[in-house]
């Protein structure tokens, strides 16, 4: 079962100071808009400078940065410290697909870039953001995917990266709780954004399912935060809404106790 520690309700989102990666489009932009509407100050981090106007239009502050770069992360948290006085919420949302179902045909450069953004971007964001979050307590959100909880033959290397960050989120929840930082692992299904391949979109619709809109996904993420606790995995789907996912509990074998001589 997924550990759920300290299941107290969170403070109001108003007046919160937040960093949202991948904040220039999709879930990140929708979340930035929602947080700003609730009174938060949001640094929307994105690698695409062309998305600055979209962020400004919803009231966020655009920060051009590559989440796979520790140096860029140092700059992001310095801006947060200098201009916001700290952080209450870090949402590690930036992610890219590989878009190749054949594991032998996928160009290694695409695999390496997806790993750098989807995994290293979470590692660097955690290490850079937690020192600001622990000053008064805060929330770290790892945005993974349903592909991180199941097999996903349409994009196996993307699934690999999402399985990795689900495992990381589960594993750091308890030690970060000691630093007053709560961890939420958020796993949305297929979201209606330009990143979704047409073949995947067609398959979802042919199965009688709907794609989830970025705005509804952002609402589910905020609802998951409002549920409290740490180390909890939440799935977000059009038909099912927000559902807590329970991992199978596996006990490690214990070595036999040697009798005293």
Residues annotated as catalytic (active site), given as ranges:
158
CB 155 within 8 A of CB 98: yes
User: Is the Cβ–Cβ distance between 24 and 44 less than 8 Å?
Assistant: yes
H helix intervals, 67-107: 70-79
Nearest residue to 90 via CA among 35, 136, 46, 138: 138
The per-residue b/e assignment along 203-240, b for 16 or more CB within 10 angstroms, e otherwise, is ebeeeeeebbebebbbbbbbebbeebbbbbbbbbbbee
Q: Which two tokens stand for residue 37?
A: 């509407």
């Amino acid at each position: 079962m997924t550990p759920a520690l300290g299941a107290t309700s969170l403070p109001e989102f108003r007046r919160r100071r937040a960093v949202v990666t991948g904040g220039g489009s999709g879930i990140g932009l929708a979340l930035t808009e929602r947080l700003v509407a609730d009174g938060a100050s949001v640094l929307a981090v994105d690698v695409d400078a062309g998305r600055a106007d979209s962020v400004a239009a919803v009231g966020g502050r655009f920060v051009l940065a590559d989440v796979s770069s520790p140096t860029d992360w140092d700059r992001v948290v310095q801006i947060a410290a200098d201009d916001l006085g700290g952080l209450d919420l870090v949402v590690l949302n930036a992610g890219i697909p590989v878009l190749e179902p054949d594991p032998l045909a996928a160009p290694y450069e695409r695999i390496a870039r997806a790993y750098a953004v989807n995994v290293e971007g979470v590692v660097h964001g955690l290490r850079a953001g937690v020192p600001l979050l622990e000053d008064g307590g805060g929330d770290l959100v790892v945005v993974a995917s349903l592909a991180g909880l199941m097999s996903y033959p349409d994009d196996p290397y993307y699934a690999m990266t999402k399985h990795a960050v689900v495992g990381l989120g589960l594993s750091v929840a308890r030690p970060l709780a000691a630093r007053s930082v709560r961890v939420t692992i958020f796993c949305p299904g297929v979201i209606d954004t330009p990143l979704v391949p047409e073949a995947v979109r067609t398959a979802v619709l042919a199965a009688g399912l709907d794609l989830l809109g970025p705005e509804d996904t952002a609402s589910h993420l905020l609802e998951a935060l409002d549920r409290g606790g740490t180390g909890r995995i939440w799935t977000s789907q059009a038909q099912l809404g927000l559902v807590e996912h329970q991992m199978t509990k596996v006990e490690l074998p214990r070595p036999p106790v040697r009798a005293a001589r």
